[in-house]
Amino acid sequence: MMHIHIRSANVVGGRAGLVPRFGAAAALLGFAACMQPGPAEDPSSDSEAVPDPGPPELKMGTLGVVIDGLRPGWLVTTSRLSDGNAAVETTQVSDGSPLTLAGTPEDIFVATVTDGHGKLLASQAMGAPCTLVRSHQLRVPSEFATIQAAIDAAQPGDTVAVAPGTYTESVALRAGVCLLGSGARATVLDARGEGRTLVDLTGAPGSVVAGFTMRGVTMPPGCSTSDVFDCSGNWYRAAVYLGGTAWRDPTQDAPALIIGNVFEDNDIGVMLYWRGVAIVRNNVFRGNRSGLVANHFQSHTLVANNVFLANTELAIGNQAAVLDLIENVIAGSELGVRFMYVQTGAIRFNVFFGNGLNANEDRFTIGEDGNIEVDPRFVDPDAGDFHLQPGSPAIDAGRRDATFEPDGTPHDIGAYGGPLAAWAKL
């Protein structure tokens, strides 16, 4: 059983020399054991290869986080959001001893634990631990006829596990609840061309959305203007919409984790509005009108290890967010990256290729900070295979400082890169 305790501490165990910074928000932080079924498995069935370890024990204090129950070879990855200069990620190798994390009051972060094969075992949730172990799963459709019915019945820490199939619901997730598909190739949320959001995260700090293809969302009449920033508030529709106005305090509430999804054929793939804070990583955005839009103010979001391909008007749009773009492939869009106001964030180790224009290129320079203009050489993008061909210039071309992939190599750029690469069942 993995135990997570929160207490005052200032020592970091694990891989020598890697010291993540965390803060007062850790008073609300808890980890939870997360067991992920494979992409082709039915999470409503009882046939799982990995035994249920049981829920972790959470003990909360004031400063620092101690993670017990780690096993040799497990990886602990942290993504820090703080001062707008950069996203600081740290990957630590566990030797089986407890791991202590500590830092400063300014930080908001998401942390994950993966095994040596990249399977996601634990995911951070502030105040509302998100648990994917089998004993905490509410299964659709075997136990609940609809996804929303399962969400409504879930408690913080539960997972709504959705079997393979195509679903046409629009759902509102709740705080600390994980929404887990059976892999993006197997589980589809389809708006059927209607002006409605598929997954609303507005009231769901500390939640996780993973393992879906989401498609077919259009903007409603009166909000489908030529400029994606011209609409406002909950008039927007997107495959995933997160409006932070319902949250108490963005410095204390947990970011949502959006990971391992495919967003295709939507007017907007992901919309982060007002103070909607998220970690968006290892997803594919293709064939949308706009891929990801951060139409919010001053808050910090990490967008890492995603693929943005052939989004017809805009791959990534930033109104006034502190938006860190790390190790993404941004290709084949009319506009690759657009910034409306002065807020930027870190733009590093991205591959740009075949975009009509990257607006506001004064914010970053191709050829500096690891940003390159080159064909990433996907295996078969037409068939949805965004693995990198052998010899791709995006292999091992990401960060080379304190983080690494499960096999110990530097990060690849794109949806199958970074410390959570092996979990991206796209």
Of 294, 255, 292, 298, nearest to 277 by C-alpha is 255
**Model confidence pLDDT, tens digit, residues 168-182:** 999 999 988 889 999
What is the average per-residue pLDDT within 125-139? Answer: 56
Residue 128: phi and psi, rounded to 5, are: -140, 85
**pLDDT the model gives residue 319:** 83
The mean of the pLDDT values for the chain is 75
What is the rounded distance in angstroms from the CA atom of residue 425 to the CA atom of residue 420?
11
**Domain around 220:** 3-423
Are 200 and 171 a contacting pair, CB within 8 Å?
yes
Unique residue bearing structure tokens 């990401």? 398
Please report which helix (H) or strand (E) contains residue 215, including its range.
strand 213-217
Per-residue pLDDT at 61 exceeds 50: no
**pLDDT the model gives residue 418:** 86
Per-residue pLDDT at 420 exceeds 50: yes
Those residues with Cβ within 8 angstroms of residue 330's Cβ, 6 or more apart along the chain or in another chain: 308, 315, 316, 336, 337, 350, 351, 352, 353, 355, 358
**Model confidence pLDDT, tens digit, residues 181-226:** 999 999 999 999 999 999 999 888 878 899 999 999 998 877 766 6
What is the rounded distance in angstroms from the CA atom of residue 266 to the CA atom of residue 315?
12
Please report which helix (H) or strand (E) contains residue 376, including its range.
none
Degrees to nearest 5, angle at CA 50 with 257 and 101: 45
Those residues with Cβ within 8 angstroms of residue 407's Cβ, 6 or more apart along the chain or in another chain: none
**pLDDT the model gives residue 108:** 56
**pLDDT the model gives residue 44:** 38
Band of residue 52 on the pLDDT scale cut at 50, 70, 90: very low
Count the domains in the chain: 1
**pLDDT the model gives residue 421:** 76
Q: Say whether pTM exceeds 0.75.
A: yes
Band of residue 9 on the pLDDT scale cut at 50, 70, 90: very low
Q: What is the CATH number of the domain that holds 150?
A: 2.160.20
What is the average per-residue pLDDT within 307-324? Answer: 89
**pLDDT the model gives residue 331:** 95
Of 171, 217, 211, 163, nearest to 190 by C-alpha is 217
Residue 25: phi and psi, rounded to 5, are: -60, -20
Helices (H), 83-204: 147-153
Q: Which of 80-89, 189-198, 262-271, 318-327 has the lowest mean pLDDT?
A: 80-89
Band of residue 330 on the pLDDT scale cut at 50, 70, 90: very high
